[in-house]
Structure 1
């Protein structure tokens, strides 16, 4: 009998692209809050999500470095390659209203592991594979009178590239500590919504996508701490191949934020099914 959480199945189940859920996560999170053309932003909202008049033109980009493991001890023991325990991701999300509640809907995502691309399309976040680079920081820079220590005043830079072409350049300098209450403008909109879509590949066509729904990740035991904020910059490659970032060009960068967070993800729930509505 073949085993595995996902294809490819195999006699021992070790070839599965993904270990079974739940997974545990811990992350260093960076988020850029910016504004862009409201009409463009609203065009990214899939029905029945409606524009949020209180968040007109607002957009959020976040790009954490994450560590993750399955909760199943046997599956942890099967992980031999450290590349399967960590990844980087970049998310662009748009505020909206769903059932009169504030939400964020994922518009674009990129990640740097093939197995995460697979997971993302299964759960609806639909990432493209990319590469990430960060400038160097280290706490011992303080001993040689250099400010790239990772503390307040450090200038952080991250780039996101795909197929050798830079897509996004992110700059952020933390300037002050803030409380979790001051982050509720962002954290209160979670968990993130995503639009999952698998086209109709059938011949003859069945007339509707194989899957088309809105999903929401279930997050348990979520914690967050060490919030800081500061000035930020954000640049998109307007002419990047196979992307459409030009219309999202920031008209104003409202700020950058950094914190640490952890959670458990047992799965997701479907909050709207287009094939049934």
Structure 2
């Protein structure tokens, strides 16, 4: 059976193929403290902030369904995308989670795959610094190297990040936020239809992180008429980060249905 639209007998035209998916990612991020009172307006029913910490990043992904490496040479554009996101540390029924109130990507298939799993993705223009082993001073992360990136949508710059690397580290702060909590939201559009509104956690397989660096970080928050990132009022930038991650997503697990909408 075809996993997603459009439907054909072969299923090859579906915009998203079924999981599991594998991911290899470069991240440029900042770890910040935000105004909790204002940020609470970004939370859906049942969630509350676990702290005033937030993680904001830009990234580049290599990703495709597991055991379908042929996609990397048959159509490389179907395996690479860029992403920007805001991550908050929240509590639901006494459990701490990692929750994304905002997320943007630059490919339609990455957007739809995210929607199926409950990520709040939109299409945007995303850019971030690159390394190359033959570029002098840009061979890879090192003390003093400066990185940056931004997310822009419909002519509005939503945020811009800059990081100056200083030293290697053994872990990144976002790893302490907890498992990823998302919302699968598919409204009914007519009588007799099911209105889907549920919290799920993302089920991950193997994962590993490498090339973790920290240093000075800065961020400028913008605004868009359809993107309320201005509700993220930064009180302090704790640090800037670069790191690489590999992980596998198997699907999602239902936590609870939202009854009080």
Q: How many positions carry a matched residue from both structures?
A: 260
1:16 is matched with 14
Structure 1 residues 50, 247: closer, same or farther in 2, change over 3 A?
A: closer
Per-residue CA deviation, residues 16-65 of structure 1 (Å, 9 max, x unaligned), is 1111111111111222111221101233233322332xx2x221112221
- Unpaired runs of 5+ residues, structure 2, are none
* Secondary structure in structure 2 of the residue aligned to 1:63: strand
What is the correspondence of 1:1-277 to structure 2 with a 5 Å cutoff?
A: 3-52=1-50, 55=51, 57-73=52-68, 76=70, 80-135=74-129, 137-142=131-136, 147-152=137-142, 153-180=144-171, 183=172, 185-202=173-190, 204=191, 210-238=195-223, 240-275=224-259
* Secondary structure in structure 1 of the residue aligned to 2:112: helix
Query: Structure with the greater relative contact order (CA < 8 A, sep ≥ 6): 1 or 2?
Result: 2
- The alignment's C-alpha RMSD in Å is 2.4
* Secondary structure in structure 1 of the residue aligned to 2:113: helix
CA displacement at 1:140 relative to structure 2: 3.7
- Unpaired runs of 5+ residues, structure 1, are none
Per-residue CA deviation, residues 185-219 of structure 1 (Å, 9 max, x unaligned), is 420324311122122311x487xx71101121111
Contact 2:141/2:213 (<8 A) preserved: no
CA displacement at 1:169 relative to structure 2: 0.9
Per-residue CA deviation, residues 164-198 of structure 1 (Å, 9 max, x unaligned), is 33222111111111113xx3x42032431112212
Per-residue CA deviation, residues 51-91 of structure 1 (Å, 9 max, x unaligned), is 32xx2x22111222111121244x84697321111111111
TM-score w.r.t. length of structure 1: 0.85
Q: Which is worse superposed, 128-137 or 60-69?
A: 128-137
TM-score w.r.t. length of structure 2: 0.90
